[in-house]
């Protein structure tokens, strides 16, 4: 019986579909890259998230491999050209967790704008403070959504009822935009009017440190920075300096350049901890797409794309 390596949490809907198609599912959620390299030759399929890097070395050992299913978005973990050369079908499921990430981004923005997290912490310390926790409203503000794929468009839809001006910029031109969004040909107008900027782009060489010191300096007024895409999209030191000089008012992140904490070097930990201690910064541990519903939807998307259902 052909085997499939399950290296990520998945919903039973995908397991059932694989088993009905005649596959034996081998679960190894904590598998290391080295362990995968030593055992991958026995598998016809791999289901993974960010744990494994399906690079040339691993693909060369995967003599029976026919397909790879990526739970979530971002195919940077797979050497796509080399997989294609070997005839390996690669599918992802960004549609499955787009709503979850969009809701998470909105929740973080509301948490920051209304001082919800800060005031809650103070109440746990017996502090009843109102004036210092006066927030701001989203109504009337201008948000720039960078990247208008599954997640960026889902966030824009949710924000459409807040009476905001929603700008977006995407390098892909073949996009159909809803009437409540104002697509931009370049970043210039965004720099001039944006109050909030939210990143929803894939990890790539071009997008590494897309938000950097120069970009911070281009904005005409202080901004709220949001990143729920990939950690290396934002230069950490640009955030540190932007908060210090007042060019960044507040910031929220579900992702960071090096994850998890245990993989950070000492300098990275110092930067991270300094930002974590800032009451104007909100962090979550890359859980934006980790809803129960998203697990089901992503699993079903992969099953459908692999023509198992």
Q: Over the stretch 53-67, which tens digit does the pLDDT of each residue have?
A: 999 999 999 999 999
Q: Could you please report the per-residue DSSP string of 107-141? A: HHHHHHHTTHHHHHHHHHTT---SGGG----STT-
Q: For the chain, what is the mean pLDDT?
A: 96
Q: Where in the chain is the domain with CATH 3.40.50.720?
A: 3-92, 98-283
Q: Is a pLDDT exceeding 90 seen at residue 8?
A: yes
Q: Percentage of the chain surpassing pLDDT 90? A: 95
Q: Is a pLDDT exceeding 90 seen at residue 50?
A: no
Give 11-49 pLDDT, tens digit per residue.
999 999 999 999 999 999 999 999 999 999 999 999 999
Q: Please give the Cα distance from 144 to 181 (Å, whole number).
A: 10
Determine the pLDDT at residue 74.
83
Q: Which two tokens stand for residue 298?
A: 């992503």
Q: What is the pTM of this model?
A: 0.94
Q: Could you tell me the CATH superfamily of domain 98-283?
A: NAD(P)-binding Rossmann-like Domain (3.40.50.720)
Q: Which two tokens stand for residue 204?
A: 């790539």
Give 169-228 pLDDT, tens digit per residue.
999 878 999 999 999 999 999 999 999 999 999 988 899 999 999 999 999 999 999 999
Residue 130: which pLDDT band, with cuts at 50, 70 and 90? very high
CATH number of 3-92: 3.40.50.720
DSSP H/E element including 274: helix 266-276
């Amino acid at each position: 019986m052909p085997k499939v390596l399950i290296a990520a949490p998945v919903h039973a809907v995908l397991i059932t579909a694989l088993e009905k198609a005649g596959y034996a599912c081998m679960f190894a959620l904590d598998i290391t890259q080295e362990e995968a390299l030593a055992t991958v030759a026995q598998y016809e399929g791999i289901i993974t998230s960010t744990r494994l890097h399906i690079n040339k070395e691993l693909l060369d050992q995967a003599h029976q491999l026919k397909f790879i299913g990526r739970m979530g978005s971002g195919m940077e973990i797979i050497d796509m050209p080399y997989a294609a050369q070997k005839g390996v079908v690669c599918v992802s499921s960004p549609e499955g967790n787009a709503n979850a990430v969009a809701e998470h981004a909105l929740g973080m923005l509301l948490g920051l704008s209304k001082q919800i997290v800060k005031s809650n912490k103070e109440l746990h310390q017996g502090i009843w403070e109102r004036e210092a926790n006066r927030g701001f409203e989203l109504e009337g503000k201008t948000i720039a959504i960078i990247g208008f794929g599954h997640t960026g468009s889902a966030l824009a839809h949710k924000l459409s009822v807040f009476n905001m001006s929603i700008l977006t910029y995407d390098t892909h031109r073949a996009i159909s935009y809803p009437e409540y969004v104002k697509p931009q040909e370049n970043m210039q107008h965004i720099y001039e009017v944006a109050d909030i900027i939210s990143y929803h782009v894939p990890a790539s060489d071009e997008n590494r440190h897309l938000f950097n010191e120069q970009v911070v300096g281009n904005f005409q007024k202080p901004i709220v920075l949001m990143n729920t895409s990939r950690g290396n999209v934002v230069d950490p030191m640009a955030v540190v300096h932007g908060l210090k000089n007042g060019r960044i008012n507040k910031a929220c992140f579900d992702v960071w350049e090096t994850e998890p904490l245990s993989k950070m070097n000492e300098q990275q930990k110092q930067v991270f901890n300094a930002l974590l201690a800032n009451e104007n910064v909100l962090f979550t541990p890359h859980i934006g797409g980790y809803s129960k519903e998203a697990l089901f939807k992503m699993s079903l998307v992969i099953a459908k794309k692999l023509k198992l259902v």
